[in-house]
A and B are shown apart, each in its own frame.
Chain A
Amino acid sequence: MSDLLQPRGEAVIAPRDLRGRRGLFARQPLAVLGAAIIVVMALAALGAPLIAPVDPLALDPLRRLRPPSEINWFGTDQFGRDVFSRVVFGARVSLIVGVAVAALSVAIGLAIGLAAGYVHWLDAVVMRVMDGLMAIPGVLLAIALVSLSGASLTTVIVAITVPEVPRVVRLVRSVVLSVREEPYVEAAIAVGTRLPLILVRHVLPNSIPPLIVQATYICASAMLTEAILSFLGAGTPPEIPSWGNMMAEGRLFFPIAPRIVLLPGVALALTILAVNVLGDGLRDRLDPKLAKRM
């Protein structure tokens, strides 16, 4: 009986916690690298006015298509705008779209998914609506929305969020369906906990880890979709410097000055890669079981 009085688990937990803090870089160098790149990008986006040497919108017809120099680190584009400044400001658009779409689709998807997963009669109805939404191609929806309400950042975010929501709903619902069968949820029902509290206290916290992972993937794909939309002319309005816009406007000059297209492209690729790598790291850390299933 005495060994029962001493919680045996303690000895087991301590070393694991330590490992988690000490060797994070050693165990997941890529994820840490991804996080570092994202932090740099975020700082660049926040401090864009301070970092960018020149106003990204300032036209200078006399200095068109100049090669990189001390004043224009990445050279200038076909209107004489500073490419480096535009790339730095472009980070704002990508990160805003990525984060906003991830946050919105997770928030909406979580609410709908919890309800659908737990309230039985809602399930069939909600999931069929979601199936319908999933059938809408994001790019098509964006083009339709832009032609209806004009190009703006909000339109882009809404257009990308709508088709992402069903994916989150499906994920949340599947997690809720498995969590609700757990004995601790049954125990909560048995001690008289009301449904909303059961969802918030017991189901929600145990559904969060896979959701965080999913959010990083949504963030990456949203940034990519935004660039595609801008490239097609259905995204961010031309007066806002975004990586997609830059590539779209510069593509005619690709043979003369490939860097106008390549540099925003590299920035985009690097950011998306960083987010994905971070997502993989988080998945391994937070939800090894789900990682195996996927």
Chain B
Amino acid sequence: MTASSPVLDIQGLTVRLPAGADRLNAVEDVSFAVGPGEIVCVVGESGSGKSVTAHSIMGLLPPGQLTPTAGRILLEGDDLLRKSPAALRALRGHRMAMIFQEPMTALNPVMRVGEQIEEVLAIHTRFDAAARRQRVLDVMRSVHLPDVERLIDAYPHQLSGGQRQRIMIAAALVLDPVLLIADEPTTALDVTTQAQILKLIKELQSRRKTGVLFITHDFGVVAEIAHRVVVMQNGRVVEQGRAEDVLRRPRHAYTRMLIRAVPTLTPPQRAPTGQVPIVLEARQLAKTYVIGGFLGRRREVKAAVNVNLAVRRGETLGVVGESGSGKSTVARCIARLIEPSAGAILLEGTDVAKLTTGALRPHRKRVQIVFQDPYRSLNPRRTVGASIIEGPMNFGVPREAALARARELMRLVDLDPDALSRYPHQFSGGQRQRLCIARALALEPEILIADEAVSALDVSVQAQVLQLLDDVRRRFNLALLFITHDLRVAAQVCDRIVVMQNGEIVEEGVTAEIFRNPRHPYTRALFEAAPGRAFAFGAFETD
């Protein structure tokens, strides 16, 4: 094998979908190659067929549902589609390996992590127990896990998300496969952890000359690690080429659209909000969870500590932080979905933090919230119309009037008013998020909380929903509390930002100011970890 011949060569791969799906083939006539020591990123939105491609290579397609009908998948010249299940099994883990998105569910929770790496060796090699353990320790060291002698006997739940993903990578690389398939391996991780994992993958592949097929939806990640890029849409490859070329001089309109939709890390000029009245203020807000008690050891978890923030009318305040920073806890306390343990929540001067359910009711409509998961935010068994008018009818608006208002709101969020009689499953994720915004607006709130409201959406849809949120904020002069983990999104929509870490606010300021000159070390770490920060998206070079 010469150095130039590819590790993986996919030629004209077509995978048939089961009858009755919305298109004939999950993947159609897909061709690309991965060379040794090369990172190829397959980018696309949900439904583009990128995961199906990855699973076809590993022979992991659900049998009977997805069947490859044409094409070849050559791993070092061997056609994988013609291999028997036993022959494929021998190759998996040995010559090719895969890491998955969710490191918690991809690891067996009742097996020690060391055993899970060792399993690969036990299946494919004849090393004795001592040699296997030595190999496991070596590979764990090579993925920079600390204190490996102790970690080897730990269970997955005792590790952090980033450590679990390192274990996954260690298990994938322990036999030095020629091909590593990474299916959204950093999507479930925080940005700082993501940056470390990306660095690790880059380092390992350059040292071991592994070919990496990296599936992602995130152009920031692409800019960070890709040598070559394959862009997929609706099961077809629309463009491929060197990362430089695709990112700076995209030829296909879809690629251009995707790259343009990536929010830049440079905050746009925003008019200063000035001295308009404060609508929402949290003072010394705290939430402490008590775990255990009775027989177990009582433990206190401080989810939010001493949080002070204020939002003015017509202003967007971003709350930025990683998972576990307490940003969602603060949002839920303010919406009074959970009881704050201490502190005050002032709605135009009225403290609602300690109001009883009955006394709180009139204030409920003033604060509305849009959640992260568009697939679970609407009751699947009620029409979207019923969901939208539920709020107003709770407050005595007659059904007819509420429905008329709902139709207006549907137009406002760019949906067909006649769709009110449909059920949530008949809408896409982005449409559902619009419905949730309509439901929140139906109560004519003064404060809108968007709790990671665009995080689950594809980047092109995300841009539209962000635009909509900004529109309604302006139109209704809303105070918008924008909870997000995504610095790019925060840069685009927020007037001011508070950064949270471990339940506390560590930095606060005007967006442009914070992005120009972050003071707290944690804020700086967040910025440095943002994938593709060195890359100005959307600034295309014409050729």
Contacts and interface: CB of A to CB of B under 8 A. Distances in A.
The CB with the most chain B CB atoms within 10 A, among A15, A182, A190, A193, is that of A190
A80 B367 CA distance: 78
B426 A10 contact: yes
Interface in B11-41: 19-22
B134 interface: no
Interface string B446-488: 0000000000000001001000000000000000000000000
B427 A191 contact: no
Contacts of A73: none
A191 B20 contact: no
B379 A184 contact: yes
B524 interface: no
Interface residues on B, range: 35 or more
B426 A13 contact: yes
Interface in A151-209: 182-184, 186-194, 197, 201-202, 205-206
B343 to A, nearest CB: 20
B431 interface: yes
Contacts of A182: 376
Given A187-B436, A191-B394, 12 more contacts: A4-B461, A7-B431, A9-B426, A11-B22, A16-B20, A184-B377, A184-B380, A188-B390, A189-B337, A191-B439, A193-B391, A194-B394
A20 B373 CA distance: 28
Contacts of B519: none
Interface in A246-264: none
B419 interface: yes
Interface string B358-397: 0001001101110111001111111000010011001100
Interface residues of A, number: 31
B379 A201 contact: yes
A13 B422 CA distance: 11
B377 A187 contact: yes
Contacts of A192: 361, 364-365, 391, 394-395, 443
B394 A5 contact: no
Contacts of A292: none
B409 interface: no
A184 B376 contact: yes
Contacts of A197: 394
Nearest to A12: B22
Interface in A1-36: 1, 4-5, 7-13, 15-16, 18-19
Contacts of B379: 184, 188, 201-202, 205-206
A9 B427 contact: yes
Contacts of B380: 184, 206
A201 B427 contact: no
A201 B383 CA distance: 12
B425 interface: yes
